[in-house]
Amino acid sequence: MQVEQRDELERVIAERQAAGDLAAAATVAIKGYGPEILGFLFVSTGRQQETAEIFSDYCEDLWRGLPAFRGESSFRTWSYRLAYHALARARRSDARKRKRVTALTELPEIAGVVDHVRTRTLPHLRTEVKTAVARLRERLSEEDRTLLVLRIDRRLPWDEIAGIVDPDSPSPESSKRLAAALRQRFERIKARLRELAVELGLQD
């Protein structure tokens, strides 16, 4: 998505939310950012069914959290924060099987958009990941793959990534320390990828 398209999407979401039309705001957001959030989740998990379930969790978190969204970050960054924590919950427990507070089936207009984005995007993602880069990433831990996607694929700055990983950081100084730690971890991941590339015969 080009910067101009992203700016327009952010504007439309903000307008819908300001008008009190949360269903429309959620619909626009999921249509606009859903495919790249799905891509982020799929690269992190490598499993289609799990990705679909976590994406549903993300969409429900978006719907529940939308009334409280105040635009302190971009909607895109906030979306990645929701997706990151939905992914973290799935890693910790079988949270995807919990009884949901707001079932998407109760919101048919949004449920239809979620299903449309999911069914159109996941098959394409399965083809995309059958590349040399994907094979390398599959050798990393899920946490390392997540960080790689946020930094390389989504090109998010380190301060935003720190805000996604820990939105409740108590001070700017602690956020800076976290950003620095994530940057160092990223350098270790790159070194590991170079080692794997040599191991798989993709690099001399």
**Long-range contacts of residues 22-26, Cβ cutoff 8 Å, at least 24 apart:** 22/63, 22/66, 22/67, 23/107, 23/109, 23/110, 25/66, 26/59, 26/62, 26/63, 26/66, 26/110, 26/113
CA atoms within 13 A on the CB side of 161: 24
Measured between alpha carbons, how far is residue 182 from residues 95, 177, 190, 195 in Å?
26, 9, 12, 20
Helix (H, G, I), strand (E, B) or coil at 122: helix
- pTM attached to this predicted model: 0.67
Quick one: which of 156, 103, 114, 87 has its CA closest to 28? 114
What are the structure tokens assigned to 189, written together?
């991941």
Q: Tens digit of pLDDT per residue, the chain (204 long)?
A: 678 889 999 999 999 999 999 999 999 999 999 999 998 898 888 778 888 889 999 999 999 999 999 888 999 999 999 999 999 998 886 544 544 545 555 666 677 778 778 777 776 665 654 566 667 777 888 899 899 889 988 889 999 999 999 988 778 889 999 999 999 999 999 888 888 776 655 555
**Cα separation, 130 vs 133, whole angstroms:** 8
Quote the pLDDT of residue 109.
66
**Phi then psi for 139, rounded to 5 degrees?**
-85, -10
State residue 14's pLDDT score: 95
Residue 105, pLDDT score: 55
Structure confidence at residue 96 (pLDDT): 47
